[in-house]
């Protein structure tokens, strides 16, 4: 199908983009990599009157470390994250997640900021950013704020961004010593999106018990979420298979689980438990240096 008619705007800087978004209100949409919005426009599931293309704002493409945190510009592509030597050393969960996104074309064009702002319930980045307890920067014409990832994903395709705010950056802490990570997903055979995707990070104490665990889950409910019941069940426990299985049993607890032609709610709940256990096992192996 052909999209509805729209006016195309190419702002020269972020301030101009913010003014345009404020000017057009609900009739304006931000375009980053285009791999989320453009398909919806072609299907006429979205019909913005004004398209504001951020593609030329090169100052939103960066990966840098400061004060024990990694900050990533919103227009940084999936491939740039996948191939970043800094991230491979300081926050390896992000390159691992990037490798699982789409195909080569998508990874070279799609952006982390666009994916997070779109908030697709089966996208990969939300699980990883949640597991890392990341923060997301939102800016408008007059102000800037950092939103905790735990508060950012509100509902299906809905975030905490205000109508006049642009997502400009993401920041996450550097992985601490004695920690391990993993991102595992079951790809939908047609779209490549996550039927279930689980990002896990674990931190061991000096006795090699689990000091803390953080688990982000995508593809299961109407939005990505932290599996807090899993995290609580693991705190202070020995990293035994029995303890991991008992904790992973809570992976879909309290969630309105998605059901579709490919996977029923019951099957998806089962997958959430299996992939949570597997992600935790892999993260623990890495935390032990294996």
The pLDDT value given to residue 191: 87
pTM here is 0.96
Residues 13 and 98 in one domain: no
The pLDDT value given to residue 239: 97
Q: Look-up: residue for tokens 């300081």?
A: 90
In a domain, 222, yes or no: yes
Residues 118 and 213 in one domain: no
30: domain CATH number is 3.30.43.10
Q: Is the pLDDT of residue 185 over 80?
A: yes
The pLDDT value given to residue 35: 82
In a domain, 2, yes or no: no
Residues 78 and 49 in one domain: no
Residue 13 burial (CB count, 10 A): 11
Residues 97 and 164 in one domain: yes
100: domain CATH number is 3.30.465.10
268: domain CATH number is 3.30.390.50
Q: Is the pLDDT of residue 114 over 80?
A: yes
Q: Which domain holds residue 196?
A: 181-287
- Residue-by-residue DSSP string for 116-163: HHHT-TT-SHHHHHHHTT-EEEEE-SS-EEEEEHHHHEEETTEES--T
Per residue in 126-158, pLDDT (tens digit) is 999 999 999 999 999 999 999 999 999 999 999
Residues 210 and 148 in one domain: no
Question: How many domains is the chain built from?
Answer: 3
- What sign for the dihedral angle of Cα 58, 64, 67, 69? positive
Residues 234 and 216 in one domain: yes
Q: Is the pLDDT of residue 1 over 80?
A: no
Q: Extract the tokens encoding 23.
A: 């000017």
Mean pLDDT for 220-236 is 98
> Where does residue 256 rank: exposed (0-12), middle (13-18), buried (19+ CB within 10 A)?
exposed
């Amino acid at each position: 199908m052909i999209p509805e008619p729209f006016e195309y705007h190419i702002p020269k800087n972020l301030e101009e983009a913010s003014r345009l978004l404020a000017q057009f209100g609900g009739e304006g949409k931000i375009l980053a990599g285009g791999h989320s919005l453009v398909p919806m426009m072609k299907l006429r599931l979205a019909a913005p009157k004004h398209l504001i293309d951020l593609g030329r704002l090169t100052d939103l493409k960066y990966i840098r470390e400061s004060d024990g945190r990694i900050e990533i510009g919103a227009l940084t592509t999936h491939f740039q994250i996948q191939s970043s030597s800094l991230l491979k050393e300081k926050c390896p969960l992000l390159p691992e997640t990037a490798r699982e996104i789409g195909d080569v074309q998508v990874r070279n064009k799609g952006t982390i900021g666009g994916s997070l702002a779109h908030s697709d319930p089966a996208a990969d980045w939300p699980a990883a950013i949640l597991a890392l307890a990341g923060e997301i920067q939102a800016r408008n014409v007059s102000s800037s704020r950092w939103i905790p990832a735990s508060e950012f994903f509100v509902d299906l395709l809905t975030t905490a961004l205000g109508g006049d705010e642009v997502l400009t950056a993401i920041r996450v802490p550097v992985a601490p010593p004695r920690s391990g990570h993993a991102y595992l997903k079951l790809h939908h055979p047609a779209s490549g999106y996550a039927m279930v995707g689980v990002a896990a990070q674990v931190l061991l104490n000096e006795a090699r018990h689990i000091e803390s665990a953080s688990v982000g889950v995508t593809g299961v409910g109407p939005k990505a979420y932290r599996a807090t019941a899993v995290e609580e069940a693991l705190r202070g426990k020995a990293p035994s298979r029995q303890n991991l299985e008992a904790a992973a049993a809570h992976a879909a607890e309290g969630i309105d689980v998605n059901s579709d032609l490919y996977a029923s709610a019951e099957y998806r709940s089962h997958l959430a438990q299996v992939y949570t256990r597997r992600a935790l096992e892999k993260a623990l192996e890495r935390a032990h240096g294996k």
